Chain A
Amino acid sequence: MEFFKYTKTFNFMGRSKLAMFVSIALLLASYTLLATKGLNYGVDFAGGTIVQVQYKSEAPIDDMRNRLKTNEIFSGSSITEFGSKEEVVIRMKTSTASVTVDVGDMTREALKGTGEFEIRRVDIVGPKVGSELKEKGIMSLILAVIGILIYVAFRFEWRFAVASIVALVHDVSIALGAITLVGLDVNLDVLAALLTILGYSLNDTIIVFDRIREGVVSGRNRGLSDIIDESVTRTLARTTLTSLTTFFVVFTLFIYGGEIIHAFAFTLLVGVVVGTYSSVFVASPILLAFGFDVKNYHVKLAAKAKREADKQKMRDQFESGVM
């Protein structure tokens, strides 16, 4: 089976204006959402408490609400269904510092008499830890981007690095926009998903860039547009295939992975789609926009190849005893 015919080269760059338009529209929508609705930080970053309760029969949410009104500590708490009618999650902005009796124990006491239930999960994050985790989270995103930037600049050229970072920012921004749109809580797992998107989307981009590099080496007199079109086309089958297999597994994770993994899987799902799109339609046109010079790079690569060949020759001579 083949998705794409080997003989045909698609004219991607001809459609790069349309792609640019789509990307900018999506980015604007994402940033507007982020600015107006804002990210919904979960307990990991904002601090607070999550109590997950499972009842033997349908959870008596109204009764629970009334009972939680009795104590100041539960003020501003919200109760929502979690995957099934029997299971609910209580989210609170408050946290307690006492080790002996914490807000989870208080919830257990307050809910006594609402039916047969089991408390399955209690997450309490104090304000200090919350802000530390946030700081660390932002640091990790920045560090990952810097690390990747350095590696790509070292292996390719700085314009490749910048182009791939633009694509990454594009992907992460749209993923954040999607998270805001559906109102998911941003917790550590979402951060992990965002970092995975970084790696994944870059993976795709680099495969295309590798082809472009190869194209540049094989012919310096072709235009960059042509080289890009050919490179993207040659890697299109691979891009589609890997994206599909990844999409399959992330999708099964999304459907069957359970409620706890939901936000993580959703973020990845968006990331896989956007990441695939961006490596085809975003990263390469940016190379053009930054004025990547094929001839120049060709000369550079040729010089590097020559140096290596010289070295190899020296080594061979040395090994065979001729100096």
Chain B
Amino acid sequence: MRMKLNYRIVIFAFAIAFGILFSAPSIFQTQDGKKVTLGLDLQGGLHMLLGVKTEEAVKSRIKSIAASIKHFSERKDILVDSLKFDESAIDFILLDSDDTKAITDYLAEIEGTIVSVNAENISITLSDEEIVRTEKQAISQAIETIRNRLDQFGLAEPVVARQGQEKILVQLAGIKTQEEEQRARELISRAAKLELMAVDEDRAARVYNMSDSDAAAYGDVILDDVENPAVKHLVRKIPILDGGMLTDAHVGFDQNNRPLINFSLNAEGAEIFGDFTGRSVGKHLAVVLDGKVYSAPVINERIGGGSGQISGDYTVMEAKDLAIALRSGSLLAPVYMMEKRSVGPSLGADSIKASLIALVGGFILVIIFMVIYYRVAGIIANIALVANLFIILAVMSLFGATLTLPGMAGIVLTVGMAVDANVIISERIRELIYQGVSIHKAIEDGYANAMRAILDANITTLIAAVVLYAYGTGAIKGFAITISIGILASMLTAILGTHGIYEMLEKRIQNSKNNRLWFGIKG
């Protein structure tokens, strides 16, 4: 007998075709086509939430203003005494009051500062807006810098994004070992702050008898040597220049074939560097990176051209990472860990295996059970169930949604819940058949009666899923996504799909009069 086509079955056929077509790339892992992305908990990787110590950015802004005042006064031969700075202010004494205009004009050009002049005492603080701006900039700069660094690290598609107002989300997939992960973290968090500082020649010999406060009284600071922390260096607190003027850094080798880093400065930096080295022949220059002295060579002659070297006892790999960090610019403010989730690739693979076993196991149980209970009606419900799985996968692939472990659990759960709509419908149809109505009416009214309950029940579940998506984090969002798609897909397959199948088979059911075969009931 010919079976009639109807619009429902046509739409359902399209939905199945859509499901199979777009889920195929994910199932067969083909080269082309959009695929479902696996979450870090399934493929292994590193997820971090970083905080930014923005107050440090303010401190370093003060420091760099102090450095520029020093440089300016030296160039213009303005006599400045006891130039010092703390966490929030810079103070100095102007020895010649004739220079007041020159220096205040210069200070007025520096944005966001409040300059107060009290006779020869000049004090500079940052305005509140400037502090807020500096803090904000520190966060966006940190995001930018970390992204630059990770782009050069060599892992595929690192994610660096702002989360909320002041958190940075970093996600790295494809990390193989704990050691590699630690290397990535070192690269991310490295301040990479290069400073060239003058050694205090007059007092350097006494450095081992000095405390930090003694040094501060002279406008100096005591720094450790990078190779041996017992070795101390006494350097001027205000740097000659800092890494902001660095334009390039790459790995080179010295005459003994040990790795070192060559860096170049921009024009302004080169000029300052040239001026300083020209004035300081015979003295020592400390190359300071992140607060540690890497070397303190004697200046033999004026160094023009603005390039220099950082030598240290590092491996080629370390030198490479360091060069990346320097090139990408220094972090204005240090970052700290707020949250970390790290999953090894083997655990991810185990999770996939375990959830697939649960999915297949649960799926087979449900399918067998439905056939035993409902016979052909059960088979029809099962068709909807299979279609449902394909559609979930297809929609997730198309939208590039991330499949996480809770997401897998969501799919497993959907298998159990997606049959619900068909169960409701089948029960209604059975009921009507018992009441003795015709097959046609039983099917039509069965669907009509079931519709309200299916809608209400699914919408409330959807409300819970949407809330979960909005408030959930990371992997949990994946659960909300699969559950939501699963609910919507189940409504489509149950309401349209199976209805279409029944419509098509209606005549057959009527003629066979075997309700036991079709619906699993007597009569």
Contact = CB atoms under 8 A, between A and B. Distances in A.
Contacts of B49: 129
A8 interface: no
Contact of B467 (A52, A195, A253): A195
B365 interface: yes
Interface string B404-420: 01100100110111011
B425 to A, nearest CB: 10
A179 to B, nearest CB: 17
B476 A188 contact: yes
A261 B355 contact: yes
Contacts of B413: 196, 246, 249-250, 253, 268
Contact of A202 (B48, B343, B457): B457
Interface stretch (A12-20, A27-35, A131-139, A296-304): A131-139
Interface stretch (A57-65, A66-74, A102-110, A313-321): A102-110
Contacts of B339: 124-126, 129
B182 interface: yes
Given A147-B463, A249-B415, A206 B355 contact: no
Interface stretch (B229-237, B238-246, B367-375): B367-375
Contact of A253 (B336, B370, B412, B464): B412
A206 B416 contact: no
B368 to A, nearest CB: 10
Nearest to A5: B434
Given A120-B343, A121-B342, A238-B427, A258 B354 contact: yes
Interface stretch (B74-82, B185-193, B208-216, B218-226): B185-193
B477 to A, nearest CB: 10
A214 to B, nearest CB: 8
B340 interface: yes
Nearest to A268: B413
A2 to B, nearest CB: 6
A222 to B, nearest CB: 18
B138 interface: no
B471 interface: yes
A209 to B, nearest CB: 8
Contacts of B372: 1
B122 interface: no
A119 B405 CA distance: 19
A125 B47 CA distance: 11
Given A108-B178, A203-B420, A206-B457, A124 B340 contact: yes
Given A207-B424, A246-B417, A249-B365, A99 B188 contact: yes
Contacts of A137: 471
B185 to A, nearest CB: 5
Contacts of A136: 471, 473
B170 to A, nearest CB: 9
A202 to B, nearest CB: 5
A313 to B, nearest CB: 21
A178 interface: no
Interface string B242-266: 0000000000000000000000000
Q: SS class of chain A's interface: helix, strand, loop or mixed? A: helix
Contacts of B430: 2, 6
B420 A242 contact: yes
Nearest to B356: A256
Contacts of B370: 245
A253 B369 contact: no
A124 B390 CA distance: 36
B366 A97 contact: no
B468 A99 contact: no
Interface residues of B, number: 83
Contact of B465 (A95, A97, A152, A199): A199
A197 B166 CA distance: 34
Interface string A206-233: 1100110010000000000000000000
Nearest to B466: A147
Contact of B460 (A119, A120, A202): A202
B204 interface: no
A155 interface: yes
A202 B461 CA distance: 8
Given A1-B372, A1-B373, A242 B342 contact: no
A253 B409 contact: yes
A248 interface: yes
Contacts of A253: 355, 358, 362, 409, 412-413
A156 to B, nearest CB: 8
Contacts of A305: none
Interface string A250-294: 111101111011001100100000000000000000000000000
Contact of A126 (B338, B342, B468): B338
Nearest to B374: A1
A124 B355 CA distance: 24
A238 B459 CA distance: 18
B335 to A, nearest CB: 6
B188 to A, nearest CB: 6
A309 interface: no
Given A124-B340, A189-B406, A210-B456, A119 B186 contact: no
A249 B452 CA distance: 26
A258 B335 CA distance: 35
Contact of A249 (B182, B337, B358, B405): B358
A119 B351 contact: no
Contacts of A196: 413, 464, 479, 483
Nearest to A264: B409
Contacts of A264: 406, 409
Nearest to B183: A100
B329 interface: no
A36 interface: no
15 contacts: A119-B344, A136-B473, A151-B459, A189-B476, A195-B465, A195-B468, A199-B460, A202-B457, A214-B449, A238-B420, A248-B416, A250-B413, A250-B416, A256-B358, A258-B355
Given A253-B358, A256-B357, 4 more contacts: A122-B341, A148-B460, A155-B456, A196-B479
Interface of B: 48-51, 178, 182, 185-186, 188-190, 335-344, 346-347, 350-351, 354-355, 357-358, 361-363, 365-366, 369-370, 372-374, 405-406, 409, 412-413, 415-417, 419-420, 423-424, 427, 430-431, 434, 449, 452-453, 456-468, 470-476, 479-480, 483, 520-521
